[in-house]
Structure 1
Amino acid sequence: MGLGKQLPAHNKNAGLVLDWQQGQGKALIAGDVKVIRVWNAATEVCTNDISARSGSCITSLTSDQVAGNIFIAGFGDGAVRVFDQRLKPTTAMVKVWREHKQWITNVHMQRGGVRELISGSRNGEVRLWDLRMDNSIDTIQATKDTLRTLSVHEHAPVFSIGTNRHEVKTFNVDGSYLSSFEPHGSFLSQSRTSPVVGAAFHPHKMVMACSALYDNYVNLVSC
């Protein structure tokens, strides 16, 4: 599953980035390359190579899980681009936002949503978007620390961030702060000062899983 079309070394560091489209049986794959590759899981064949239209690496992908035509990519230079698979690969990019100024940690479109999008960048800035609009509809300064993770609940209007300071913070999408906690680690583990590197909401329950660097624990937390 080689990607090819590598970026220059100074624009790379994202590794492999993947978004799975369950309803379509397709995987969107990108990373330190100039294209987003669409794979059909059933036939194990690449069906499309879509130009990323950027010299920066792709750091995150999210897509409409209903029809699967629209997907969004976050980039290392802070750009967020919207693509439509129904168009020709060279013209599939239909919108670009450049309001973030740092590496996009994550972009997420809620399951069933066709317009609502949340993005977060390393400088702690979280933005809410409507795909029809040319500018973000809201900005939340979620932390002054480095934002390492951004997770969005699929059916509730909440999101969480993980920081370099071993902290997970939860917000309403209107920017209201809800809670914060530090993931549990072993007594002698250095993870108590380690950054949060993984977090995800349960798709239906108000429960979140998270973990820190160098830790052997996955914390399950009721929101």
Structure 2
Amino acid sequence: MKFVVKSFIFSRIWNYEKASLINSFDNHDYLEKGISQLCLVNELDDSLLLVASNDGNIRIWKDYTLKGKQKLVTAFSSIHGHKPGMRCVDAVVDWQQESGYLYASGELSSIMVWDLEKEHLVNSIPSLSACSISTLSASQVHGGQFAAGFVDGYVRLFDIRTPEMLVCATRPHNQRVERVVGIGFQPGLNAVTIVSASQAGDIQFLDIRRHKDAYHRFEAHTGSLTALAVHRHAPIIASGSAKQLINVFNLEGELLGAQKIGSVSCLAFHPYQVLLAAGAADGCVSIYADEISAAK
């Protein structure tokens, strides 16, 4: 019944059924560093809140739902090797419950793999690109496997359990080369498909067994795509745009519903329920259930 909202340097926890604020606290004191991502660690049992800043710093909180009683468990820099003096590396991270790994990258040539329990850097994987990584997604089924989207439209799949680590690389977003803004693994326990969305508005489905071009694509928006969410279990995906529109699709690309909102900045599905949270650039947060209907 709770969800967490990021806002510059603040973390706010809300009861979405009652639309009531449960707790609010500062993550750090540096406004220019902001917050890039929130993740729940051990979400089903005594969960922790992982907060990533744009500079790559990670802070993990416990008791984050108790008003004024949140406690900082640990803090560290997840990004190594960036140029000295860089205030912001546009860090992107994702947490993998299966392996206990945190993956982190940004405007640098490597992807850092952290064992959070040991607070130990497991590996530094070359990104194999001169371009920076714009989005990361860890498989919640296969520990050690993750996908990365790049600003030049490339998508690369890695598996740290293999000697080469790079499984495949493809450039599905090649009609209008714009950054990959969202990536995720297809729902289900035998996920072999990656869903990828570019800023140009196209969504691509990639079969990682084929190691070739996308087997299915469709236009979700006419440019300005800003966010993608893939449900972990239900066969639905959602995309949002700066043109104030959220679209919900099935895995065949058929439009199931649409909703007008402010300029969309982020989207996230509930991990188990069919609920979609959407954040807008004006600070408004909306929750949608499976009764989403097409906009008229």
Shorter-chain TM-score tier: 0.7 to 0.9
Number of residue pairs matched? 205
Give the alignment's Cα RMSD to 1 decimal.
1.7
Quote how far apart the aligned CAs of 1:155 are.
1.1
Matched residue type, 2:158: F
Q: Deviations over 1:2-30 (max 9, x none)?
A: 523338xxxxx871111101122110111
**Structure 2 segments unaligned to the other structure (5+ residues):** 1-76, 291-296
Hey, what does 1:136 align to over in structure 2?
Answer: 214
Rate the CA distance shift 1:3–1:58 in 2: closer, same or farther, 3 A.
Answer: same
Hey, what does 2:127 align to over in structure 1?
Answer: 52
Q: How do 1:175-186 residues align onto structure 2 when only pairs under 5 Å count?
A: 175-183=253-261
Hey, what does 2:280 align to over in structure 1?
Answer: 212
Alignment equivalent of 1:148, drawn from 203, 208, 226: 226
Quote how far apart the aligned CAs of 1:31 are.
0.9
**Structure 1 segments unaligned to the other structure (5+ residues):** 8-12, 184-191
TM-score relative to the length of structure 2: 0.66
Report percent identity of matched pairs: 29
Work out which structure has the larger RCO, using CA pairs closer than 8 Å and 6 or more positions apart in sequence: 1
Distance in 1, Cα, partners of 2:255 & 2:78: 42
Matched residue type, 2:96: Q
Q: Which structure: larger Rg?
A: 2
Matched residue type, 1:153: H
Alignment equivalent of 1:162, drawn from 215, 236, 240: 240
Alignment equivalent of 1:95, drawn from 149, 168, 189: 168
Quote how far apart the aligned CAs of 1:68 are.
1.1
SS of residue matched to 1:94 = strand
Matched residue type, 1:75: F
Matched residue type, 1:182: K
Alignment equivalent of 2:93, drawn from 11, 15, 18: 18
Q: Deviations over 1:82-131 (max 9, x none)?
A: 1120234xx32121111212100111014534312100000000000110
Hey, what does 1:104 align to over in structure 2?
Answer: 180
TM-score relative to the length of structure 1: 0.86
Select the structure that is richer in helix. 1
Matched residue type, 2:216: D
Matched residue type, 2:182: N
Alignment equivalent of 2:270, drawn from 179, 186, 202: 202
